[in-house]
Amino acid sequence: MLWQQLLNGLTLGSTYALIALGYTMVYGIVQLINFAHGEIYMVGAFVGLVLVTVWDVNLGVAMVGAMAVCMLLGVLVERIAYRPLRGKSSRLSPLISALGASIFLSTLMALIAGVNTRRYPAIMDLSSFSWGPVQVSSMQVIILLVSALLMIGLQFMVRKTRIGKAMRACSQDLDAAALMGINVNRVISYTFAIGSALAAAGGVMVGVYYNAVWPYMGTMAGLKAFAAAVLGGIGSIPGAMLGGLTLGVLEIMGVAYISSSFKDAIAFGILILVLILRPQGILGEKISKKV
């Protein structure tokens, strides 16, 4: 029972982690809570659905397609809703702009696709096998594997490539990075693109795993993922991964051992407790305030 819940929790947690990475990367560079991120995840799930039902492709192709579309969407949202505001206003106005973009995207999807919950067709043989006392479904294996691969890929990109180096520079000091000849706008676009692609992959996999896709699915998932990013320490990439997994496991444990009707409250309750004890999150750095 415990191991089964742990596996379910890790599966849920790795999808939170995939979405949380987008929040934390954007936050690390432009200090903006990108509230439209949850909607990008939702669009990803829908693009995957369309690819699977209309073009009848397999899950891998659907995922890549959704990632590509969401990359463009993420960059577009940044261009339209955030870039015009950058550097000339308070920090609250981009936040409101992000909320506006989020409302716009979810309503647009509701107009296009209708508000009803859609289901993925049986695209693959979702078998499950037992491993000791634990029932493992093939979709859980896929979610864990793909998430792990994407996260390793992200770490490699951030640590080893030129663009990754530019991102790290930008997250330390945007102005100094610009002075060193880094095209800051391009780096920000890349950040949005990568974050959105990860969220889209998460969206497709969650859509298949829970077999439900609807236009307002992004709001709660986005809030939970943001909570995960803050739990791990916002701005920190390993923090987002750890925060996502922790939140997923604790949420499933809470549902299993406490009460399922308090599902959404459990995640936020944990978050508040952790932040009271450790205000900078699990892996966050404590930044001393200066005048």
Residues contributing to the site for another protein (CB under 8 A): 27, 31, 33, 80-81, 84-85, 88-94, 96-97, 99-105, 107-108, 111, 219, 223, 226-227, 230, 234, 261-265, 267-269, 271-272, 275-276, 279-281, 289-291
Rounded to a whole number of angstroms, the minimum distance from the CB of residue 248 to another protein is: 16
Count, in order, helices (H) and strands (E) of the chain. Answer: 11, 2
- Minimum gap (Å) between residue 90 Cβ and another protein: 5
What's the alpha-carbon Rg for the chain, to the nearest Å? 19
Q: How far is the CB of 291 from another protein (least distance, A)?
A: 5
When the beta carbons of 127 and 288 are compared against another protein, the nearer one is 288
Q: Which is nearer to another protein, 84 or 153 (CB)?
A: 84
Q: Nearest approach, Cβ of 117 to another protein (angstroms)?
A: 18
CA dist., res. 42 & res. 219, Å (int): 9
- Which of residues 202 and 284 has its CB atom nearest to another protein in the complex? 284
Shortest gap between Cβ of 93 and another protein (angstroms)? 4
Within 10 A of 66 (CB to CB), how many other CB atoms are there?
31
CB-CB contact of 209 with 138 (8 Å): no
CA angle (19, 81, 235) in 5-degree steps: 40
Closer Cβ to another protein, 102 or 140, answer by number: 102
17/286 Cα distance (integer angstroms): 22
Residue closer to another protein by CB (options 137, 280) is 280
CA distance 238 to 252: 21
Tokens of residue 291, six digits: 């005048």
Measured from the CB atom, the residue of 8 and 34 that comes closer to another protein is 34
Calpha distance 5→253 (Å, rounded)? 6
Q: Which amino acid is at 118?
A: R
CA-nearest of 21, 63, 49 to 222 is 21
- Nearest distance in Å: CB 51, another protein: 25
Degrees (nearest 5) of the Cα angle 75, 38, 145?
Answer: 90
Distance of alpha carbon 24 from alpha carbon 235, whole angstroms: 5
Q: Report the nearest approach of another protein to the CB of residue 266 (Å).
A: 9
Nearer to another protein, 91 or 159 (CB): 91
